[in-house]
């Protein structure tokens, strides 16, 4: 059992909800703020804007002014390519509809289950594999949340609950704590995993209350951050991540290999090294899912495998994430490491 810890108070300069409310919501305003040609903004009737721009200001502050090819900007700026069709790119690339066995639950791997605890995110990443997901039919009211927990309670093979979405940290601390208490009440569940990009784009989300709740859970708790570039980690992340780590929460990171963002050896090694200085373990490097409207992000498997081989040559093993692709119907993520090429 984990020792109960008390986290030293941190300075939460601004409520994360206010930061979120103050986000950029149209491309022209964001581009003007960055001193980038605002004519790059798509017309308001472009089909790509069915998935609208949403960028918190702390994330925008890490972008390089005057650089239309900034790697953080490229992840979130709607572009014309999103409206083009490409063979093999579909709205449900992981066939999650078949694993969405009841409202708010995706159960596709043995021993673990995903709870879709929120339908929204704090940032709309253009490569998102759930950008076309049917969240309307998967919203979990308090009553539906209890039914989802009953599903877990009735399946003793489930030892890990994964909070996903959307972004699960869009829940208020009180609602999240109530949900975690419900999971803790299920004896055969021993692990809790939270996947989130929200603390990356709004560091203020790592509140004292959240840190204490995660660190003091009876469950083995891990927080998987979604960071694709070293510039996404700032000094504002250091203290709260250190508090989580020292309190017993395991910090992991998974990235997506994105063309024009991080598909260079120097960028990937810088990311791994910076994660290490923040106490975060590189976990997965995903080849991008073939989501409709995202083909321009795909560098291809061969590029990914070659980069993985070079990372092995340049980094200690504990800083090399596994290169994987998630494939529909597979019982686990499929390794795509370069030794498959004979290296």
- Residue 56: pLDDT above 50? yes
Compute the distance between CA of residue 272 and CA of residue 275 in angstroms, rounded to an integer: 5
Tell me whether residue 140 is in a domain: yes
Q: Which token pair is 66? A: 């005057």
Give CA–CA dist 317/279, Å, rounded: 16
239 to 62, 256, 276: CA distances (angstroms): 18, 25, 14
Query: Could you tell me which residue, 195 or 12, shows the higher pLDDT?
Result: 195
pLDDT category, 13, cuts 50, 70, 90? low
The whole-model pTM stands at: 0.92
Range of the domain at 110: 16-85+94-341
d(CA 251, CA 237): 12
For 264-291, give one letter per residue: b (16+ CB within 10 A) or e: ebebbbebbebbeebebbbbbbbbbbbb
Higher pLDDT, 173 or 343: 173
Asked if residue 61 belongs to a domain, the reply is yes
In a domain, 215, yes or no: yes
Tokens of residue 102, six digits = 């009841």
Query: Which pair of tokens denotes residue 60?
Result: 């925008």
DSSP state of 102: B
Residue 238 has pLDDT above 60, yes or no: yes
Residue 128 inside a domain? The answer is yes
Decide if 302 is inside a domain.
yes
Could you say which DSSP state residue 56 is in?
A: -
In 128-236, which ranges are E strands? 160-164, 191-196, 220-225
Does some domain include residue 34? yes
Domains in the chain, number: 1
For residue 129, what are its two tokens? 């594999």
**What integer is the mean pLDDT of 188-213?**
98
Residue 8, domain member (yes or no)? no
The answer to whether 144 and 175 have CB atoms below 8 angstroms apart is no
Mean pLDDT of the chain: 91
CATH of the domain at 267: 3.20.20.70
Alpha-carbon gap, residue 214 to 222, rounded angstroms: 9
Residue 20: pLDDT band with limits 50, 70, 90? very high
Beta-bridge partners for 106 = 114
């Amino acid at each position: 059992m984990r020792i109960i810890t008390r986290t030293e108070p941190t300075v939460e300069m601004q409520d994360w909800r206010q930061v979120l409310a103050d986000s950029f919501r149209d491309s022209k305003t964001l581009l003007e703020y960055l001193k980038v040609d605002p004519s790059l903004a798509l017309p308001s009737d472009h089909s790509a804007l069915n998935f609208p721009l949403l960028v918190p200001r702390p994330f925008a502050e890490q972008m390089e002014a005057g650089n239309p090819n900034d790697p953080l900007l490229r992840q979130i700026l709607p572009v014309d390519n999103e409206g083009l069709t490409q063979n093999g790119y579909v709205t449900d690339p992981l066939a999650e509809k078949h694993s969405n066995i009841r409202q708010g639950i995706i159960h596709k791997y043995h021993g673990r289950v995903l709870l879709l605890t929120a339908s929204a995110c704090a940032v709309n990443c253009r490569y998102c594999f759930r950008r076309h997901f049917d969240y309307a039919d998967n919203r979990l009211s308090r009553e539906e949340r209890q039914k989802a927990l009953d599903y877990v309670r009735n399946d003793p093979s489930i030892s890990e609950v994964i909070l996903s979405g959307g972004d699960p940290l869009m829940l208020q601390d009180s609602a999240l704590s109530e949900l975690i208490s419900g999971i803790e009440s299920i004896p055969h569940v021993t692990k809790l995993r939270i996947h989130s990009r929200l603390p990356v784009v709004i560091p203020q989300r790592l509140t004292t209350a959240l840190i204490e709740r995660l660190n003091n859970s009876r469950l083995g708790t891990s927080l998987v951050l979604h960071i694709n570039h070293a510039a996404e980690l700032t000094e504002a992340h250091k203290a709260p991540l250190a508090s989580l780590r020292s309190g017993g929460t395991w910090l992991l990171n998974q990235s997506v290999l994105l063309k024009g963002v991080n598909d260079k050896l120097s960028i990937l090694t810088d990311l791994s090294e910076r994660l290490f200085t923040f106490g975060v373990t590189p976990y997965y490097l995903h080849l991008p899912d073939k989501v409709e409207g995202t083909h321009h992000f795909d560098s291809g498997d061969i590029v990914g495998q070659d980069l993985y081989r070079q990372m092995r040559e340049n980094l200690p093993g504990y800083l090399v994430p596994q290169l994987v692709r998630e494939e529909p119907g597979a019982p686990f993520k499929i390794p795509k490491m370069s030794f498959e090429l004979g290296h």
